[in-house]
């Protein structure tokens, strides 16, 4: 475990009860007004702003003894940000369990990915958000942006997307794709790839978004419409994993053809490798792959 | 030695809050209260979970006891200005709560309505039966409430008419809670 | 207890803690660990800065923060701020009167002489910034001799504890705006409890600036001083000293001093303006105050206070008058955290970026096929 002093007397969940109540009240209003960024005071945490303090405050205010937590970053439980957050939550929430299995988690806190496996009604997803407001790119004043959001006036954002199309023949937004919730507020869904944006629509699980530095919480309730902004003649498209020959790339480890893949250079062989970003999904698929291979070996 | 009723203790408040969050996320679904107070009403246990000195509370129907107020810490306020309003669902409403502004829709009241009974199907002549649609509900759901004056539903229509402005409701009976955020469309059956 | 086992990422993090502490301790056999009291006394102004940016007056922990952060002021302030987050709020003092400060330094640029006199105190303003090479080999004996001999020959009884406020004189003459009685009894904005929702009150601006990062505040104020702004300030008074902290006695209710905190306070006078149509014009004021001894910060804050008041009233005409621009970018914990976050893995988002660029390049190729 971590080398920090765990005997310091912090309350369960590190935050004092007033801080937790404020987060909880804010969250309820966020759920009642889908996609609206509700301001809150956002306490300082021992990790830096930008390292997930918003998502962390949500988890700390919500989690209870006996619950199971999964923390991922870039889809992986072992990525440094996830490791750091998970040890902190373990240290300050005595009585919770942690897991790498998506299936076992009651609460999942994630940076930059939504798990490949669809979440259930009894699960809760907390996403870490650096920039909560999609209108920042067209209007620097928060004051003015709030009115635009209130009126659902996203014309300047659409013009910006259109300018992209004129220039590049494509909408060039990669991650943080602006998505309209319940026909009103357009959100920044956090830096998840376009691949994951469609999972927000009609999700069985509640999805909460925490921006610690910007001090906002927003939410997409379950069974809620979430539409990425697009034009009739330029539809929304997810990332393309086909190779030069037109074949869909597969994960080198588990053979999966349907997941978001990380692309990197193997530090030992020097060759380009494609592997599932979602490590738990990859483990599950690997078991399936092994089962299939064994079955084939037996049947000849 | 001062022994705190569980409704004031952090562990129970965490559990209670999760139910409130479920309720607001899945309007019309009824959830059994996590912690029935040893001393005090079910409504008190909901208020205890949410309130502290940073928010204001109105109690126009005098449902709280004098001794409840210091524990809640909330500032007493008029119904028109309050962040949280505790109401007897049987009486018709006689105030207009804060419904927020275009820029700040969250600066709106949350109403806690005390009713006779909540459920999917209730054995009562006067029960209001309604069909619910909107965020949080897969397709549609049915909710029945007894002990709610029907005028509440018509003023609610006015209050939530201009999204994002609106108010959000939590309803309690003797043992359960349900919630109706401003986004839920209610059709009386 | 079911916990996830530490693997690659976890071990790497453990390694960083070990090498960080190695760097702190590798000085050699003759070295001794830094003493927190040494930091508080011999690095007094660094210590002041960290207390101010940490936002909690805890001298011992501020020293510890500097020690564990190996001198990084942003990290040290961060550790203090995070510590403050864990402390429950017990009680709030009434507004404290800086007129009651036990003064260690007090000057006014507005007047040649003032009631009580100009007391320069421990300022470096008039020092020659030459390297004091004799300090390279300062012996413990020379060191302790300085403090021992300082008081000899001084009649401490002659030194006043406090001084009247310079502004009171100007106020009596009608040169300053009347104090707005509506502000008496108003609850000040609590930066630790409420988020900034623009437009913000002056109280919120001051609360943000008092624990802002010194360099950021200075840069913003400097832009105003240099000509992007209109403040043209004169320092009416700068005072450094110890402010008594008063709380009501639990039984009698009388205000009782429970301790004192070192603060630096600056009041600047700026261009005069008319208040309402028929009122006489008066000078305008800017106010700055912070924990510890930090004059650059207090002066910068006072100048920005004036600039922001003008910006909030008439609309900003330059960045230093724009509350959103100033207040959202001067908090050191927020800014350093976000700056540092760029070092975290971003490969999924980059994967997404590569996809977009490749697609766009493909479309470009299709439009203009290479012949």
Q: Which residue has the higher pLDDT, C45 or C92?
A: C45
Catalytic residue among A54, A210, A212, A254: A254
- pLDDT for res A2: 40
Q: Which two tokens stand for residue C253?
A: 């209710």
Residues A49 and A147 grouped into a single domain: yes
Contact between A142 and C198 using a beta-carbon 8 Å cutoff: yes
Catalytic residue among A13, A54, A55, A251: A251
Distances (CA, A) of C291 to A256, C39, C81, C122, C265: 59, 17, 14, 16, 9
For A190, list phi and psi in degrees, rounded to 5.
85, 165
Residues C171 and C274 grouped into a single domain: yes
Residues C138 and C228 grouped into a single domain: yes
- pLDDT for res C368: 59
Q: What percent of chain C has pLDDT over 90?
A: 60
> Which residues in chain A are contacts of C363 at CB distance < 8 A?
168-170
Domain that holds residue C231: 98-333
Q: Which two tokens stand for residue C33?
A: 């660990």
Classified as helix, coil or strand, B68 is: helix
Last residue of a domain, one of A175, A194, A228: A228
Cα torsion angle, A12, A14, A15, A21, sign: negative
Cα–Cα dist C247/C256, whole Å = 5
Residues A210 and A288 grouped into a single domain: no
Domains and CATH numbers, chain B: 6-116+148-183 (3.40.50.11310)
Report residue A7's pLDDT band, with 50, 70 and 90 as the boundaries. Answer: very low
Q: What pLDDT, in 10s, does the model give residues C238-257?
A: 999 999 999 998 889 899 99
Classified as helix, coil or strand, A6 is: coil
Catalytic residue among A13, A35, A55, A212: A35
Residues C113 and C61 grouped into a single domain: no
- Which H or E element spans position C256? strand C255-273
Domain that holds residue A287: 243-300
Q: What pLDDT, in 10s, does the model give residues B158-188?
A: 999 999 999 999 999 999 999 999 999 999 9
CATH number at residue A127: 3.40.50.11310
- pLDDT for res C155: 83
Active site residue A276: yes
Query: Which among B13, B135, B181 has the least Cβ separation from residue A223?
Result: B135
- The answer to whether A29 touches A219, Cβ cutoff 8 Å, is no
Residues A111 and A185 grouped into a single domain: yes
Cα–Cα dist B160/B105, whole Å = 11
Contact between A239 and C333 using a beta-carbon 8 Å cutoff: no
Cα–Cα dist A80/A92, whole Å = 19
Judge whether residue A164 has pLDDT over 80: yes
Cα–Cα dist A14/A61, whole Å = 9
Long-range residue pairs from C355-360, CB within 8 A, at least 24 positions apart, any chain: C355/A174, C355/A239, C355/A240, C356/A170, C356/A172, C356/A173, C356/A174, C359/A170, C359/A240, C360/A168, C360/A169, C360/A170, C360/A172
- Which H or E element spans position A69? strand A68-73
Last residue of a domain, one of A228, A252, A277: A228
Q: Which two tokens stand for residue A294?
A: 């064994």
Q: With respect to residue A248, please indicate whether it lies within any of the assigned structural domains.
A: yes
CB pairs under 8 A between A and C: 170
- The answer to whether A176 touches A190, Cβ cutoff 8 Å, is yes
Question: What mean pLDDT, rounded, does chain B reach?
Answer: 94
Last residue of a domain, one of A228, A256, A272: A228
For A215, list phi and psi in degrees, rounded to 5.
60, 55
Residues C119 and C254 grouped into a single domain: yes
pTM of the model: 0.89
Judge whether residue C163 has pLDDT over 60: yes
Pure H helices in B5-150? 10-25, 42-50, 68-72
Residue A62: how many CB atoms within 10 A of its CB?
23
């Amino acid at each position: 475990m971590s080398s920090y002093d765990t005997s310091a007397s912090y309350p369960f969940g590190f935050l004092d009860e007033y801080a937790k109540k404020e987060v909880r009240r804010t969250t309820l209003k966020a759920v009642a007004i889908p996609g609206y960024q509700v301001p809150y005071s956002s306490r300082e945490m021992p990790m830096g702003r930008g390292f997930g303090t918003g998502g962390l405050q949500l988890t700390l205010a919500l989690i209870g003894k006996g619950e199971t937590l999964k923390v991922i970053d870039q889809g992986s439980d072992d990525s440094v940000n996830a490791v750091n957050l998970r040890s902190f939550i373990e240290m300050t929430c005595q009585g919770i369990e942690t897991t790498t299995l998506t299936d076992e988690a009651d609460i999942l806190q994630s940076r930059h990915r939504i798990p490949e496996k669809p979440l259930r009604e009894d699960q809760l997803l907390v996403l870490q958000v650096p920039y909560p407001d999609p209108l920042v790119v067209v209007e620097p004043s928060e004051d003015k942006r709030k009115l635009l959001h209130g009126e659902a006036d996203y014309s300047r954002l659409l013009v910006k997307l259109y300018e992209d199309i004129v220039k590049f023949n494509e909408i060039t937004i990669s991650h943080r794709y602006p998505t309209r919730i319940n026909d009103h507020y357009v959100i920044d869904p956090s830096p998840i790839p376009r691949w994951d944006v469609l999972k927000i629509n009609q999700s069985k699980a509640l999805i909460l978004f925490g921006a610690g530095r910007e001090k906002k919480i927003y939410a997409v309730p379950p069974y809620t419409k979430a539409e990425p902004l697009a034009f009739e003649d330029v539809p929304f498209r997810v990332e393309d994993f086909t190779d030069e020959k037109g074949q869909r790339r597969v994960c080198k480890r588990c053979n999966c053809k349907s997941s978001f893949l990380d692309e990197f250079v193997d530090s030992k062989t020097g060759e380009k490798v494609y592997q599932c970003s979602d490590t738990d999904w990859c483990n599950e698929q690997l078991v399936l792959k092994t089962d299939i291979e064994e079955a084939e070996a037996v049947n000849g | 030695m001062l022994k705190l009723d569980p409704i004031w203790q952090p562990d129970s408040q965490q559990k209670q809050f999760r139910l409130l969050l479920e309720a607001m996320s899945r309007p019309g679904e009824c959830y059994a209260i996590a912690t029935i107070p040893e001393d005090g009403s079910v409504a008190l246990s909901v208020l205890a979970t949410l309130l502290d000195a940073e928010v204001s509370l109105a109690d126009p129907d005098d449902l709280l006891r004098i001794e409840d107020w210091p524990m809640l810490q909330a500032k007493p306020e008029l119904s028109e200005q309050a962040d949280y309003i505790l109401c007897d669902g049987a009486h018709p409403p006689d105030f207009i709560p804060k419904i927020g502004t275009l820029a700040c829709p969250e600066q709106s009241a949350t109403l806690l309505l005390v009713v006779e009974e909540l459920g999917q199907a209730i054995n009562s002549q006067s029960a209001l039966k309604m069909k619910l649609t909107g965020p949080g509900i897969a397709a549609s759901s049915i909710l029945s409430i007894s002990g709610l004056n029907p005028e509440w539903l018509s003023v609610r229509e006015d209050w939530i008419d201009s999204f994002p402005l609106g108010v959000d409701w939590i309803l309690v009976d003797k043992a359960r809670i349900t919630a109706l955020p401003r986004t839920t469309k209610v059709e009386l059956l | 207890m079911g916990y996830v086992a530490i693997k690659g990422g976890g071990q790497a993090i453990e390694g960083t803690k070990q090498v960080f502490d190695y760097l702190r301790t590798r000085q050699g056999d003759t070295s001794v660990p830094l003493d927190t009291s040494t930091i508080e006394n011999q690095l007094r102004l660094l210590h002041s800065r960290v207390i101010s940016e940490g936002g909690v007056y805890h001298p011992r922990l501020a020293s510890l923060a500097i020690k564990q952060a190996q001198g990084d002021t942003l990290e040290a302030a961060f550790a203090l701020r995070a510590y403050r987050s864990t402390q429950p709020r017990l009680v709030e003092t009434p507004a404290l009167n800086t007129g009651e400060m036990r003064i260690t330094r007090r000057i006014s640029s507005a007047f040649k002489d003032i009631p009580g006199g100009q007391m320069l105190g421990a300022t470096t303003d008039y020092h020659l910034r030459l390297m004091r090479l004799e300090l390279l080999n300062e012996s413990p004996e020379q060191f302790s001799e300085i403090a021992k001999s300082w008081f000899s020959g001084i009649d401490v009884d002659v030194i006043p504890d406090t001084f009247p406020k310079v502004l009171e004189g100007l106020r009596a003459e009608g040169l300053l705006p009347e104090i707005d009685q509506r502000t008496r009894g108003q609850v000040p904005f609590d930066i630790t409890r409420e988020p900034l929702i623009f437009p913000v009150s002056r109280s919120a601006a001051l609360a943000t600036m008092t624990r802002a990062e010194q360099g950021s505040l200075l840069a913003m104020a400097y832009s105003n001083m240099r000509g992007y702004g209109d403040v043209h300030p004169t320092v009416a008074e700068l005072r450094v000293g110890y402010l008594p902290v008063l709380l009501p006695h639990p039984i009698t209710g009388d205000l009782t001093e429970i301790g004192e905190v070192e603060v630096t306070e600056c009041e600047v006078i700026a261009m005069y303006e008319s208040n309402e149509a028929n009122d006489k014009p008066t000078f305008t004021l800017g106010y700055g105050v912070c924990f510890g001894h930090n004059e650059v910060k207090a002066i910068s804050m006072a100048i920005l206070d004036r600039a922001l008041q003008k910006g909030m009233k008439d609309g900003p005409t330059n960045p230093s008058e724009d509350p959103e621009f100033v207040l959202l970018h001067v908090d050191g914990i927020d800014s350093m955290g976000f700056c540092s976050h760029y070092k975290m893995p971003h490969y999924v988002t980059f994967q997404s970026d590569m996809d977009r660029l490749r697609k766009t390049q493909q479309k470009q190729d299709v439009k203009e096929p290479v012949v």
